Structure 1
Amino acid sequence: MNRRFIMMLVAGLLSLPSSLNAQHIPTLEEAVNRTLIKTEGGGSVNWMVDGERYWKWERNANGGFDVVAYKAKDNSKEVLIPAKMLVNPKTGKPMTVRNIVFNKENTKALVYTNSKRVWRYDTRGDYYVLDTQNGEMQQLGKEFPESTLMFAKFSPDGTKVAYVSQNNVYVENIADGIVTALTTDGSDIIVNGTFDWVYEEEFGCRDGFRWSSDGQYIAYWQSDTSGTGWFDIINNVDSIYPIIQRFPYPKAGTTNSAVKVGYVSVNGGATTWIDLPGNPRNNYIPRMDFIPGTNELFIQQMNRSQNTNRIWVSKIGEPKPVNIFTDTDKAWVNTNDNVLWLKDNQYFTWTSERDGWRHLYLISRDGKQTKLVTDAQMDYENEVGVDMKKGIVYFIGTLDNYTQRYLYQAKLFGNGKVERVSPLNESGQHRYVMSPTGKWAVHTFSNAQTPPVIDMVSFPGHKTVCGITDNAEAKNQYKSLGLNPKEFVKTKSGNLELDAWMIKPINFDASKKYPVIIEVYGEPASSTVQDVWGGGDLWDQYLANLGYIVISIDNRGANVPRGREWRKCIYGEVGTFASEDQARGIQELGRKYSFIDMSRIGITGWSGGGSQTLNCMFRYPDVFNTGIAVAFVADQRLYDTIYQERYMNTPQNNPEGYKKGSPITYVSGLKGNLLLIHGTGDDNVHYQNCEILVNELVKHGKIFSQVSYPMRSHGIFEREGTTMHLRKTMADYWLKHLPAGGR
């Protein structure tokens, strides 16, 4: 064999697709444990008050973790808090620190440690004040039981700290450790300074108090849970007798907690309750904060139907709040975060869908003037930051590809023109953590095939200052697997175009027909078809390489930036349009791609996706023949007030909608194979849903399979071996009931 031929052969081999050079199909263990691709973080940073530096944790030469500040302009660093300072003064052992918050001067820091989980988040623990100059550590709330302090915050002048313990609000003077109780009626029923279960889950509310601008008052929420139905979770695994866990949980159409807001002097005394109109059990107060530099509270109050958001301003010392603005929608309105006050508080920013798109508006203080800031046929998804000096607001959105996200800018007092800022050559999703000045941002770019690339950029201009991580190793690890990448495609439900993706096995043969596993969510809270890095999609790749095509479709109502009509056309119809679109969508893909075997269509989903799995299996049994439903809502009346009523109104006002949207209504339609999976300790979507559905399936003589995980929550991840067992159970079920491989 001559040299020239050998060189040509080698060149030819090198030019072959990577999938032929090297292939490694993830094992179940590798897919679950995510050991094949290791990405570095760095995109989530904590900007400091000066807007020129950010801090992060960094391992030192001794194996400890220092708090290190980096300058944005040149990436130079300094150690703000060495690991040797973060030592428990009682035990002399290193602390496990959950979070650190600096005062304005960076001379003191609140150190949050010994944290404990409360529902979703570990929001109670112990707090210490650390003097960053001399390392002295002072514990707050020493008189309270261990790990009971919540949301500790410095006063504006840094001399005091306020916090919540056991549903009461306190202020502690740092200099002498004197603690003043601002509330004393906190109990299992009365909740001060934090929230009940449903406010946390659906409004994202946990921290329930605010310092006034002058540091003389604390404004806080109080929830009276009396009259709200209590739900019991039975723990049968941690004792020889059952342990009952009880908490208030208002189910759709039932009685809410009575929620109100008030303020109290930091020196103690009586609370002044703000006289908001309406029944406190049939109105919500999802947001409240002080207008910057004032002692005026800016309060958002929603009616129970959540189609009206009234804005009130209440000044400390004045008896009545003033309604300055009201936003309405025939379906629902959303809470407004990142409200920005401009021109000496003469204007504030507001997002609304009043013209068919989610846009940013300027509203005058008296509510009489409304000006459109983002005048484009696109949704303003979320604010990234503001350059006050230049009058520019930066935000995330997309003009034409709803699976992708980019940074845009607009003038706050301009003509409404919107300009893209993210690089044109980086197709996918962009995320930014912007400095308070709007001058710098940590920028993260990724797409389905590209692990996060993180750099520091300057504005205006989006110029790269320095790289933080390019995750080149992770990119090579992903590429070396030789897997078929996620493909983004289009399908239809009637005349409506839908976004979808598919993953094929590496030995895919287009002349054969393959079974399909559809991953569905389908509810208004999220979206599954996104061009963003998902760790290499190793679980989906594992399933695909068992011999399936894995597909996901975003149905009507999915939370994507396609305008108001797309998102809100499902009002009162949650579950019905979703299952219809999933059925029509896969049928259209079956017509479009001959390699899809329409006689072998499976579907699976978690939470709302579990509900849609059931709806698809029961309502379209001739399309879907195998399903795995995880942590599902079987009857919409069993879910909470805020979420379910936002999209469906109450069961009393929309009984037909609740009936049509609930899978349990269509149990008699089941023909195929069905596996139900649920955690008995699920405080979100209660195990009650599974038991009620099982009862109905038995009543109709339907054969099904069921796996219950004792005392696992909605994520079904707690306790040893759980995640592996769950995924193996799912994989085994697919192989047994939805025969794999091309035919």
Structure 2
Amino acid sequence: MKKCLLFLLLVCTSVFAQQDIDINNLNWLPNSHSFWVNKDDSVVVYDVDKLDKQITILSKSQLTAAGFTGEIEKLVWNDSKTKVLVYTNSKKVWRENTKGDYWFFDLTTGKGKQLGKNLDASSLMFAKFSSDNENVAYVSKHNIYVENVNTGKITPLTTDGTDKIINGTFDWVYEEELAARDGFRWSPDGKSIAFWRVDATSTKFHFMINNTDSLYPVIVPVEYPKAGEKPSSVKIGIVNIDSVQTNWLNIPGEPDNNYLVRMKWISNESVMVIQLNRNQNQVTMYDCNTKSGSARVIYKEESASWIDVFDISAGEYDTFPCQFVDNGKAFLWSSDADGWMHIYKISLDGKSKELVTKTNFDAYFKAYNEKTKTIYFIASPTDATQRYLYETNLSSKKTKRVTPDVFEGTNTYVFSTDASYAKHTNSNIKRNHNTRLVALSGHKKIFPKEADVFASPKLNFSLEKFKVKTSDGIDIDGIMAKPLDFDPSKKYPVFFYVYGEPMASVANDEPYFDYFIARLIPKGYIGIAMDNRGTPVMKGTEWRKSIYKNIGIINTRDQAMAAKEVLKWNFIDSDRVAIHGWSGGGAVTLNLMFQYPDIYKTGIAIAAVTDQHFYDNIYTERYMGLPEENEANYRKASPVTHAKNLKGNLLYIHGTGDDNVHYKNAEVLINELVKYDKMFDLMIYPNRSHDISEGEGTVKHLTDTFIRYIEKNCPPGAK
């Protein structure tokens, strides 16, 4: 406590107008409801309870004096908030920039220095303080290091790291499909580190070829276990900082046939590890003794389909899915085993399990206020296109909606680390995004002082929601975009935007339509986005998991049958029907073009999985099972199987540098279309990755190609 007071006395404090606060870019501090922002290249902290004051903890001149170069990209705090690490000069690893440089600053003196100076530039990953503030640990080139912030001594804790032996971080597939990047955790006493070790020696390379950047082609290898291939071997070690000796946890199961998804220290001698089996339909939680390595089962759950250890659609990485409560004697766990996503309280000894959210609707855990014992979760009982904040209490068990009625639509919350406050953003198809700071108790607004302004989105088209019931009796939610001069007496071409797999939904109550299609709607198109069974919307377990072992089959049929209902509308021209999707949506686009060629006349598929066998094992086996168990449906679900049925206009687009959905998918599809003499159009972007954004002029060229193709083959305008 004395250190925190000293910190506050030494920093520069000033009074300011509340209007100056940039809450859109706030970053919450640990164990508090203070937040920091980058203001004029300085780090400024605000306390939510005292928003009329700002505290500059690091000025631009202090950063410069320490030799800091680059931009302030992220801060890593120690527990007492007296020391901080500044992350900068980051570079891309897989999807994101997760390696870079770190500077250490003592906030009581304002002095700082660069860490890891004898290691490669922009190579440090996931740096964080020990609890005694004496050391910082980080990863560089697949090894873990600890650096004493006082002496500058750097000690390697692992030395066997290579491109195939990965310590303290993960391979491509763990990051992509298990949302795992940061691969080590300090013990509470700061004397040990628990870390993942990935042995990808047996994992085969997928080779990409760079044909443009040198005289001869360059082979780019990516460790990539495809469906049916065993995972990389993974284990967890506990390394002692003083002795640099590692003790390995004896977790049951073959290390190359299970997934160690998450871990967290429970005490100085105990780590909780969450394991998924290869099929991902069984989760086991272990209490592992860090001295003996023994693993005791805390809890086990099985499913007839798959188990979501975390909310796969949330886009959050490295989050531990269990919230400890009752002074660490129990934890909260989310499961949809009873037909709805519910929150349970499970004792750490594994002897009791209690249903907390006793509701007949999905409840997605978001935060826990330890002081008030309040659990916050996202739900939408009556409209799956929307999102609202709810709360329940561990003591009273009462559940109520927190988001006021005035905020109809989609609501997102970024919670303070003590779950007392949040940045709240609201929007819907007729209301632009608007943001405020709120006290979660009573949802009281504390910033800005002015009244909320609910402005209409600045779109050059209108949006509305609809529902259709298919001939199979399935209710489908949709979003429709219309040109502003829409005339219901005329007929318009319709353009379907699709994703359709378990990672994302598209029919959301938000002021948005697909980036490409949005440019065409004002020219005289009707845009349609619909969510089929299998998408991660709040309609219960049966809806989300009916797609198990049937990706490419059930979702394709749902989309086609829903499209048939849309084509019955008087203002739709059934002769001008286009469709577009990217990645999983690209696969659905191809399946719809090939399996229902009488519905869809023109399609643009980008970076599509054309054969289910080609995608990674964690994603594909989670939803399709192992190929050897479900080979018939693997073939039936793959677009290449149906390519011979193409009748309409198809433009296929792919980047040769795509390490996610490999360019191999394009060439196999091309071969099949050629085999059956099917005419199609093709655009290949050399060395571009999955989002096809690299290189000067790429985004404009892709956009122009897209628009010209649609206007030529599915002409705009009402008739």
Residue 595 of structure 1 pairs with residue 576 of structure 2: no
Question: Counterpart in 1 of 2:279?
Answer: 305
Please state if 1:390 is matched with 2:360: no
The aligned residue for residue 524 of structure 2 is 547
Aligned counterpart in structure 2 of residue 199 of structure 1, from 170, 174, 188: 174
The answer to whether the aligner puts 1:360 opposite 2:340 as a matched pair is: no
SS of the counterpart of 1:73? helix
- How far 1:654 moved relative to its partner? 0.6
The alpha-carbon deviation at position 550 of structure 1 amounts to 0.8
Report the Cα offset of residue 645 of structure 1: 0.3
In the alignment, structure 1 residue 270 sits paired with structure 2 residue 270 = no
1:529 maps to 2:507:
yes
Give 1:437 shift: 2.5
Q: Which consecutive unaligned segments of at least 5 residues does structure 2 have? A: 1-20, 311-319
Is 2:369–2:375's contact at 8 Å kept on the other side of the alignment?
yes
Q: How many residues align?
A: 688
Q: Distance in 1 between matches of 2:482 and 2:488?
A: 10
Of the three residues 36, 56, 60, the one matched with 1:55 is 36
Normalized against structure 2, the TM-score is what?
A: 0.93
Distance 2:610 2:517 in 1: 26
**Which residue pairs with 2:142 in the alignment?**
167
User: Is residue 235–residue 242 contact of structure 1 (8 Å, CA) maintained in 2?
Assistant: yes
Match of 2:6 in 1: none
**Which amino acid in structure 1 is aligned with residue 383 of structure 2?**
N
Q: Which amino acid is 1:526 matched to?
A: A
Shift of 1:475: 3.9
1: distance between equivalents of 2:451 and 2:69? 32
Query: Does residue 327 of structure 1 match 2:301?
Result: yes
Give, in angstroms, the shift of residue 471 of structure 1: 9.4
Q: 432, 447, 468: which is aligned to 1:451?
A: 432
Give yes or no for the alignment of 1:708 onto 2:684.
yes
Corresponding residue of 1:488: 465
2:547 is aligned to 570
Match of residue 605 from structure 1:
581
**Any conservation in 2 of the 1:296–1:313 contact (CA below 8 Å)?**
yes
CA distance in 2, matches of 1:298, 1:95: 38
Give deviations 1:143-188, integer Å, cap 9, x for gaps. Answer: 2111111110000121100011111111111110111211111111
Which TM-score applies when normalising by structure 1?
Answer: 0.90
Which stretch of structure 1 is more off in the superposition, 504-513 or 224-233?
504-513
What is the CA–CA distance in structure 1 between the aligned matches of 2:718 and 2:189, rounded to whole Å?
70
* Counterpart residue type for residue 560 of structure 2: A
Deviation at 1:244, TM superposition (A): 1.4
Whether contact under 8 Å (2:247, 2:293) holds in the other structure is no
CA apart distance, 1:94? 4.4
> Which AA in structure 2 matches 1:462?
H
- 2:365 touches 2:375 (CA, 8 Å); kept in 1? no
Cα distance 1:268–1:450, how it changes in 2: closer, same or farther (>3 A)? farther
**Structure 1: which amino acid aligns with 2:297?**
N
Q: Corresponding residue for 1:719?
A: 695
Distance of aligned partners of 1:243 and 1:208 in 2 relative to their CA distance in 1, 3 Å threshold: same
Q: Is the 8 A contact 1:503 1:540 kept in 2?
A: no
Q: Is the 8 A contact 1:454 1:468 kept in 2?
A: no
Which residue is equivalent to 2:708?
732
Q: CA deviation at 1:382?
A: 3.4
Task: Select which of 652, 655, 658 maps to 1:682.
Answer: 658
CA distance in structure 2 between the aligned counterparts of 1:683 and 1:389, rounded to whole angstroms: 45
Question: What's the offset of the Cα at 1:434?
Answer: 1.9
Aligned to 1:696: 672
- Between 1:252-261 and 1:302-311, the stretch displaced more is 252-261
Match of 2:479 among 485, 501, 504: 501
**Greater CA drift, 636-645 or 122-131:** 122-131
* CA gap 1:530/1:466 in 2 versus in 1, 3 angstroms: same
Deviation at 1:657, TM superposition (A): 1.2
What is the CA distance between 1:52 and its match in structure 2? 3.4
Preserved contact between residue 168 and residue 183 of structure 1 (Cα < 8 Å): yes
Aligned with residue 229 of structure 1, among 196, 204, 219: 204
Q: Distance in 2 between matches of 1:233 and 1:537?
A: 29
1:629-708 matches, within 5 Å, as 629-708=605-684
Q: The residue matched to 2:599 in structure 1 has which SS?
A: coil
The 2-side partners of 1:722 and 1:449 are apart by 32
How far residue 504 of structure 1 moved from its aligned partner, in angstroms, is 1.1
2:125 partner amino acid = M
1:435 to 383, 395, 416: 416
Distance 1:53 1:726 in 2: 43
Distance 1:304 1:194 in 2: 20
Matched residue type, 1:323: V
- Report the residue type matching 2:497 in the other structure: E
CA distance in structure 2 between the partners assigned to 1:595 and 1:295 by the alignment: 68
The offset of 1:132, in angstroms, is 2.3
Shift of 1:318: 2.5
- Residues 675-701 of structure 1, C-alpha deviations (whole Å, 9 max, x = no match): 000011000000000010000000011
**How large is the Cα RMSD of the aligned pairs?**
1.8
Displacement, 1:107?
A: 2.2
- Aligned residue number for residue 115 of structure 2: 140
Write the distance in 1 (CA, Å) between the matches of 2:628 and 2:488.
Answer: 52
Q: How far is the alpha carbon of 1:295 from its aligned partner? A: 2.9
**8 Å Cα contact 2:365-2:377 kept in structure 1:** yes
> 1:337-348 to 2 correspondence within 5 Å?
337-348=320-331
For structure 1, which segment, 331-340 or 640-649, has the greater mean C-alpha deviation from structure 2 after superposition? 331-340
Q: List per-residue Cα deviations over 1:208-247 (Å, max 9, x = no partner).
A: 0000111111000001101111011111111111121112
Matched position secondary structure for 1:740: coil
* C-alpha distance in 2 between matches for 1:191 and 1:578: 37
Quickly say closer, same or farther: Cα 1:367–1:469, change in 2 above 3 A.
farther
> CA offsets, 1:253-306, max 9 Å, x none?
013210111101012433111111111111000101112x54311100110000
Letter matched to residue 382 of structure 2: D
- Greater RCO structure (CA 8 Å; 6+ sep): 1
- Aligned residue type for 1:140: L
Partner in structure 1 of residue 442 of structure 2? 461
Q: Which residue of 2 aligns with 1:120?
A: 95
Preserved CA contact (<8 Å) 1:556 1:566: yes
Q: What per-residue deviation string (whole Å, max 9, x for no partner) do you get for residues 653-689 of structure 1?
A: 1101101111110011110000000011000000000
d(CA) in 1 for partners of 2:463 and 2:590? 26
SS of 2:239's equivalent in the other structure is strand
| Structure 2 CA distance for aligned equivalents of residues 414 and 405 of structure 1 | 24
Residue identity over aligned pairs, in percent, reads 43
Aligned ranges for residues 395-406 of structure 1 at < 5 Å? 395-406=377-388
Partners of 1:370 and 1:170 in 2: CA distance: 40
Q: What is the CA–CA distance in structure 1 between the aligned matches of 2:159 and 2:395, rounded to whole Å?
A: 47
- Which residue type is aligned with residue 47 of structure 1? W
